Amino acid sequence: MPIPGNLLTTAMAVMPHTDADRALEVAATMDIPFWPQLPRLSYYEDMYVQAAEHFPGIVLDVDKQKLSFSTDKFMDELEAAMAGFEDPEMFDVSRDYSAVYHKFLDMDLTDRPAIRGQLEGPISFGFNINDENDRPILFNDTVRPFMFEFMARRVNVQLGRLKQKNANAFMFVDEPGLQFLFSALSGYGDVQAKQDMEMFFSMIERPRGVHLCGNPDWDFLLGLDIDILSMDIYTNRDVFAAYSQSIKRFLEKGNILVWGIVPTNIEPYEKESLETLRNQLEDVWQRLYGAGIDRDQLLSQSLISPATCCLVNPDFEKTVEKGFQTVKRLSETLRIDYGFAEEGDHETGYSAQAGV
């Protein structure tokens, strides 16, 4: 598996910065860097807008910062879209939709243990894009199968670009909507969802994984055919630890878990310390060891990250950057104590006040 573990660091992509170069500098402090999505810099840098590029039927109003869908427009544009399915440019993120992505591709990333990209997943995209009747397009039986294939091709094209920069590149499918998937109000049944997600991942090249910050059906998520799962363990640690048998099966397949433990919102960040965050993380691990999960396997197949993205702090990027620093410090401490420190550490740094 080209995705490294050994308690190295990465982070989710959405960042509050309005300076693309600074955001890339901060992202590069992680052992596994990524290209940032910066919706405060431009509406085109929003993760839903980027996923919507060239999708037939999309109505984009940049001035009002609104993304919607027209069924008539979809039918008019569908044939042309299908004709372009073999054109990689149709599925890549253009410079108009992300200057940051192309700046990332211009960087020298060959010395990193891996790099990572991301795309908004079809469940979340389908839940959040509404048609002219204010109905999510996920519920449209004509649009939904096309959407899953379209997004799979987007993931594959981006992964191909990233692998040209680093052979160990992998992709996150960002799926915050998965926490609502089995709600009685969702209007989208679990049987259909499982079929759709299994089909979706069967179309995506490896390595592939899911990132979300919510609390989904963990048995469902851990049972998907993915290689890496990134989650907010800071918020969901008690719930997640209860799924020890699903976690064990996930790890026995050689898969990687990304433990999002450092909060980036001001209030929770300021009440924690490096010691309290480590204790919370190791408490989850101890419960999993007690349930029969091998300690060495879990640690060697783990990464450390912030708990969530954050765009709402009144100090904008300051606490987020402190959170990244804390992730680094926590990883370094854990790697030393668990005997991983000599295995390919990558020196990174940037000018920011130390965090926790």
**Collapsed DSSP state (helix, strand, coil) of residue 2:** coil
298-334 pLDDT tens trace:
999 999 999 998 888 899 999 999 999 999 999 999 9
The pLDDT value recorded for residue 1 is: 58
Asked if residue 148 lies in contact with residue 200, where contact means CB atoms within 8 angstroms, the answer is: yes
Instruction: Please report the pLDDT score of residue 343 as a whole number.
Output: 46
Residues paired with residue 80 on neighbouring β-strands, in sequence order: none
Task: Return the DSSP state at 177.
Answer: G
Structural tokens at position 36 = 């940032």
Q: How far apart are CA 25 and CA 137, in angstroms?
A: 37
Who's near 111: CB < 8 A, 6+ residues apart? Answer: 346
Q: Compute the distance between CA of residue 131 and CA of residue 140 in angstroms, rounded to an integer.
A: 9
Let me know if 189 is exposed, middle or buried by CB neighbors in 10 A (0-12, 13-18, 19+): exposed
Q: What is the pTM of this model?
A: 0.92
pLDDT for res 182: 60
What's the pLDDT score for residue 234?
96
Q: What percent of the chain has pLDDT over 70?
A: 93
- In terms of residues, how long is the chain? 356
pLDDT the model gives residue 183: 59
Return the domain boundaries, the chain: 8-337
Q: Are 189 and 111 in contact (CB under 8 A)?
A: no
Distance of CA 240 to the CA centre of its chain: 18
What is the per-residue pLDDT for 177? 76
Prior bond of 263 cis (ω within 30°)? no
Residue 346, class by beta-carbon neighbours within 10 Å (0-12 exposed, 13-18 middle, 19+ buried)? middle
Tokens of 42: 């431009």
Helix (H, G, I), strand (E, B) or coil at 140: coil
Listed as ranges, residues in the chain with pLDDT below 50 are 343-344, 349-355
What's the pLDDT tens digit per position in 185-197? 556 767 778 888 8
Question: DSSP state, 85?
Answer: T
Quick check: 331 and 7 in contact, CB under 8 A?
yes
68: left (phi over 0), alpha (psi -120 to 50) or beta: beta
Q: Residues 329, 304: contact at Cβ < 8 Å?
A: no
Q: What is the CATH number of domain 8-337?
A: 3.20.20
